[in-house]
A and B are shown apart, each in its own frame.
Chain A
Amino acid sequence: MSLEVVVAAALFVGVLAYAVLAGADFGSGFYDLIAGGTRKGAEMRTLVDHSIGPVWEANHVWLIYVLVVWWTGFPSSFAPAMSTLVLPLLLALLGIVLRGAAFAFRKYSGSLAQARLFGIVFASSSVLTPFFLGAVAGGIASGRVPATGHGDLWTSWINPTSIFGGVIAVGTCAFLAGTFLAADAVRSGHAHLADQLRIRTLSVGIVTGLVVFAALVPLQDDAPTLSHGLEHRAAPLVVASAIAGAATLVLIWLRRFAWARLTAVVAVAAVVSGWGMGQYPWMLVDQVTITEAAGARATLQGLLVAVALAAVLVGPALFYLFRLTQSEEWSHDD
């Protein structure tokens, strides 16, 4: 593998981590939103607070990682994507800002009225943000970002591939979040919450799974390069996501939430990797390849040093954080 491809792989690991980890945080907003009135949703909202509170900022940093590695490692593809997909990116950014701020504000708000306002902002921006990020991915994957930049401001993200990408992003986030929240609910002794989440997550999972496979049909016309990749090189990943997704549904049905978390992560990671593998070796599909987009060699090497250092320093710390938050002692209430 060439240096460029190694760096691109490191970039994609960030995309994957963001999709799975931050995805689960965003997805929690979905259950927060449909938890019902203040009284009825109180327990669910407290569970969401408890579940994503310690981790959302760390998970959010994956996005920063992706942006930095992208513009540092592949500067000539960053500017065109930014200038073409500026609208969905700004909308996603708005969602990210509102989600993070409103989440922190809600937890410490002084009155119920304040909490309601922040809560609505938090939950709705959590649901909408993945849509725009998915639409951005769809725009790139369907070859709508010209190498020179300044592609169409609207059709670059309002098109079949982007719409499917957005819907799939929202669905996978909610699916992941549902399994994680259900496991958290069981561990902290809220069995009826887990029951509620079980039904909701099963519904989300079935719908999302259908959308993923339905998307393969319009993609053939709308994103031929990606579609070809998905049917050939990335075919094993598509199959893997189907198996893992089905396994997750069965496990949730059987109330094995702890195990369902694993298969859900595998299913979502396989879908996202399918996209990455499907569009390889393009950085911007049909326009710029990974090798063409790569920046100076010395910088790519420097980036790999940074990534290696991150693996050594951030890896164990992140593991420690997740181990603490997923442990018994940390599950009791404040």
Chain B
Amino acid sequence: MALSLGWHIILAAFGVAFPAMIFAMHLRGVRRDDAVALGLAKRWGKVAAVLFAIGAVSGTVLSFEMGVLWPGMMGKYGDVLGLPFAFEGLAFFLEAIFLGIYLYGWGRMPPRRHVWMVLPMALMGIVGAYCVLAVNAWMNVPSGFRLDHGKVVDVNPWRVLFNTHAFLQFAHMWLGAYMITGFTIAGVYAVGMLRGRRDEHHRLGFAVPFVFASIAAVIQPFMGHVLGMGMAGRQPSKLAALEMETTHESPSPLHIGGFLVNGHIRDSISIPDIGSLLAMNSTKAVPDLAHIPVKDQPPITMTHWAFQSMVGIGSLLMLAVLWYWLQRRRGKDLTDRRWFLWFVAAAGPLSVIALECGWIATEVGRQPWIVYGVLRTADAVGDYTGRLWILYGASLVLYTSMTVGAVVVLRSMARRWRAGESELPSPYGPEELDSSAATAAGEGR
């Protein structure tokens, strides 16, 4: 499940943020009659088609896994947490419909109407992401039901859908999606510029996603901080693990890095007092692990490292984009510097790492609970432990081959585009076969 979620989350990020960028590019193309922008929008649409297809199927894997792997959760709490999924399904429905219309609408619809077909996808990406995050927020801060002698009663699914924590988690993830998509796509064109391709096509292909990513990257650290506020009350064990606080200290220090060995922190850089300031917005003590029974503690070192890697990468990206725009105001274009282009090329993978780390921090940090304080992961999982490994192995093979397939196809698309093809006809179509046969005959002569 972690494998498929971790894989799907990247595609979901593209699903949420990519349509908005395509829309911005396409709108520019239509409004300014800009052929370069239109060309880019069209290409991005094709890339999105491939990513969406595998995103759709990997999302289906998740809905199956919900039932197969977590019967203990779905059987008991299915009706509590299901409603957001219903609305997510609704959003995904509209996304898929408008994807079909948009992709096949090129040249078949009036351009001014066509450009608006991608907007519902961008909006529904927001709705869908919100709904999924509402469920995750519910797992962190359960609400909308009562336990009466172990039985679930007084179910109020609307409180799950609109739970207070959902909006903050959503905002954090949403910005993350824009960072990943923006930096990754800008990175592709940065690599092109590094190889000496410095035309309008590359300039624009870099600029639009980079603007999106910049805005998200600057807001993200603050959003993350707001999300963390109050965690001491909600999930003290997670906060203690994130900050790796083993003992009660007031104000608490900040531990950067380090490992927990026999209950003692080793090899960390500790800065006095800062821990409380960052985590509590005050000089009060950060919750510590000494007060939490070992059986209720999450894996500390992993949570701590994942969290700090995310924070580190996020801060680095924020500083980098601020530097870029500051230099630009002074009339210096950093895209003329090779080191900056290399940095942007790395920013995409870095933000993917940050996303995965953030996800690990929140999920592993919630352990041993699957629904915090209510249901333990061990009680929710299906009881086919032995066979689970076969399933895991099979999924690993499947996901690896899908990744390889996607990379091969996307790379060959890029190669053909660079070679000057624009429409990318399928190689098995009648016309293509005719023309390649003609070429072969010509070469044979």
- B83 in contact with A306 (CB, 8 Å): yes
- B60 in contact with A93 (CB, 8 Å): yes
Nearest A residue to B159, CB-CB: A298
CB distance from A44 to the nearest CB of B (A): 10
CB distance from A77 to the nearest CB of B (A): 9
Nearest A residue to B60, CB-CB: A96
Nearest B residue to A60, CB-CB: B56
- A78 in contact with B74 (CB, 8 Å): yes
Knowing A54-B104, A72-B86 are in contact, say whether A149-B57 is a contact too (CB < 8 A): no
CA distance A318 to B97 in the complex (A): 6
Chain B residues with Cβ below 8 Å from A90 are 64, 68, 391
CA distance A149 to B57 in the complex (A): 26
- A320 in contact with B101 (CB, 8 Å): yes
B70-100 interface code vs A (CB 8 A; 1 in, 0 out): 0100111111101101111110111011111
Q: Which of B220-228, B325-333, B343-351, B403-411 contacts A (4 or more CB under 8 A)?
A: B403-411
B156 at the interface (CB under 8 A from A): yes
Chain B residues with Cβ below 8 Å from A55 are 100
CA distance A303 to B433 in the complex (A): 50
A63-89 interface code vs B (CB 8 A; 1 in, 0 out): 111011101110110110111001001
CA distance A60 to B61 in the complex (A): 13
B439 at the interface (CB under 8 A from A): no
Nearest A residue to B98, CB-CB: A317
- B94 in contact with A75 (CB, 8 Å): no
Taking a contact as CB atoms closer than 8 A, the residue among B97, B152, B416 that contacts A314 in the complex is B97
CA distance A321 to B394 in the complex (A): 36
A207 at the interface (CB under 8 A from B): no
- B79 in contact with A58 (CB, 8 Å): no
B382 at the interface (CB under 8 A from A): yes
Q: Which of A99-107, A242-250, A253-261, A265-273 contacts B (4 or more CB under 8 A)?
A: A99-107
- B82 in contact with A72 (CB, 8 Å): yes
- A324 in contact with B101 (CB, 8 Å): yes
CA distance A324 to B158 in the complex (A): 36
- B89 in contact with A45 (CB, 8 Å): no
Taking a contact as CB atoms closer than 8 A, the residue among B79, B104, B427, B433 that contacts A39 in the complex is B433
- A109 in contact with B74 (CB, 8 Å): no
Knowing A72-B86, A296-B155, A303-B83 are in contact, say whether A100-B97 is a contact too (CB < 8 A): no
- A86 in contact with B68 (CB, 8 Å): yes
Nearest A residue to B124, CB-CB: A313
- B79 in contact with A299 (CB, 8 Å): yes
Nearest A residue to B54, CB-CB: A101
CA distance A300 to B89 in the complex (A): 16
- A100 in contact with B79 (CB, 8 Å): no
CA distance A73 to B81 in the complex (A): 11
- B89 in contact with A299 (CB, 8 Å): no
CA distance A317 to B156 in the complex (A): 30
Nearest A residue to B56, CB-CB: A57
- A149 in contact with B71 (CB, 8 Å): yes
CA distance A272 to B378 in the complex (A): 39
Chain B residues with Cβ below 8 Å from A64 are 59-60, 63, 89, 92
Contacting residues of chain B (304-339) with chain A, CB-CB under 8 angstroms: none
- B405 in contact with A101 (CB, 8 Å): yes
- A334 in contact with B425 (CB, 8 Å): yes
Chain B residues with Cβ below 8 Å from A41 are 428
Nearest A residue to B412, CB-CB: A110
Contact residues of B: prevailing secondary structure: helix
CA distance A310 to B412 in the complex (A): 38
- B86 in contact with A76 (CB, 8 Å): no
Q: Which of A114-122, A167-175, A194-202, A212-220 contacts B (4 or more CB under 8 A)?
A: A114-122
Taking a contact as CB atoms closer than 8 A, the residue among A38, A76, A302 that contacts B83 in the complex is A302
Nearest B residue to A110, CB-CB: B412
Nearest A residue to B426, CB-CB: A107
- A46 in contact with B430 (CB, 8 Å): yes
Taking a contact as CB atoms closer than 8 A, the residue among B97, B394, B408 that contacts A317 in the complex is B97
CA distance A43 to B167 in the complex (A): 50
Taking a contact as CB atoms closer than 8 A, the residue among A43, A110, A317 that contacts B413 in the complex is A110
Chain B residues with Cβ below 8 Å from A297 are 155
B398 at the interface (CB under 8 A from A): yes
A154 at the interface (CB under 8 A from B): no
Knowing A46-B430, A67-B63 are in contact, say whether A109-B409 is a contact too (CB < 8 A): yes
Max chain B C-beta neighbours (<10 A), residue from A64, A300, A320: A64
- 18 CB-based A-B contacts, threshold 8 Å: A38-B428, A38-B433, A46-B426, A61-B56, A61-B89, A78-B67, A79-B78, A94-B398, A100-B57, A110-B412, A114-B427, A296-B155, A296-B157, A297-B155, A299-B83, A306-B90, A321-B97, A324-B109
Given contacts A42-B433, A302-B83, A314-B97, 17 further A-B contacts (CB under 8 A): A53-B104, A54-B103, A58-B99, A63-B60, A64-B60, A78-B67, A86-B384, A96-B60, A97-B60, A100-B53, A104-B52, A109-B426, A110-B413, A111-B412, A115-B427, A299-B80, A314-B94
Chain A residues proximal to chain B, CB less than 8 Å:
38-39, 41-43, 45-46, 49, 53-55, 57-58, 60-61, 63-65, 67-69, 71-73, 75-76, 78-79, 81-83, 86, 89-90, 93-94, 96-97, 99-112, 114-116, 118-119, 149, 295-300, 302-303, 306-307, 309-310, 313-314, 317-318, 320-321, 324-325, 329-330, 334
The 5 closest A-B pairs by CB, nearest first: A72-B82, A110-B412, A295-B79, A75-B78, A104-B53
Chain B residues proximal to chain A, CB less than 8 Å:
46, 49-50, 52-54, 56-61, 63-64, 66-68, 71, 74-80, 82-83, 85-90, 92-94, 96-101, 103-105, 107-109, 120, 152, 155-158, 161, 382, 384, 391, 394, 398, 402, 405-406, 408-409, 411-413, 415-416, 423-430, 433, 436
